[in-house]
């Protein structure tokens, strides 16, 4: 298993309950084929440029271990989740 870091940018219209639900959803998905080491909620921040007409967004960072095959599935779920504006997964 390799170590990864993932940062997702979430729509600013999502409420606290929605943020918690997204965190649990992605943590559960990662834990199926790996292990989440740390989740950091970075809060609402101003974006460098507008994304889908939003000037602010919530940032969330996941530090985890996973198999390389599971990263493709994680990215697929990020893409089809409407609340996720942008994401990146980096191998440490």
Per-residue CA distances from 17 to 13, 14, 27, 80 (Å): 12, 8, 15, 20
Identify the pLDDT of residue 33.
87
Q: Are 37 and 64 in contact (CB under 8 A)?
A: yes
Q: 84 falls in which pLDDT band (50, 70, 90)?
A: very high
What does the pLDDT look like over 21-31, one tens digit per residue?
999 999 999 99
Q: Which domains does the chain have, with CATH numbers?
A: 1-34+45-54+68-86 (3.30.70.60)
Please determine, for residue 17, whether its predicted confidence score (pLDDT) is greater than 90.
yes
Q: Are 40 and 5 in contact (CB under 8 A)?
A: no
Compute the mean pLDDT over every residue in the chain, rounded to the nearest whole number. Answer: 94
Whole-model pTM? 0.89
Question: What is the rounded distance in angstroms from the CA atom of residue 39 to the CA atom of residue 10?
Answer: 14
Q: Are 33 and 70 in contact (CB under 8 A)?
A: yes
Identify the pLDDT of residue 63.
96
Please determine, for residue 60, whether its predicted confidence score (pLDDT) is greater than 90.
yes
């Amino acid at each position: 298993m390799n170590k990864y870091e993932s940062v997702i940018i979430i729509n600013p219209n999502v409420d606290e309950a929605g943020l918690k639900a997204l965190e649990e959803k992605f943590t559960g998905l990662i834990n199926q084929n790996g292990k989440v080491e740390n989740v950091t909620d970075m809060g609402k921040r101003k974006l460098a440029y507008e994304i889908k007409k939003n000037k602010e967004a919530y940032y969330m960072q996941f530090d985890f271990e996973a198999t390389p095959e599971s990263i493709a599935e994680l990215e697929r779920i990020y893409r089809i989740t409407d609340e996720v504006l942008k994401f990146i997964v980096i191998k440490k």
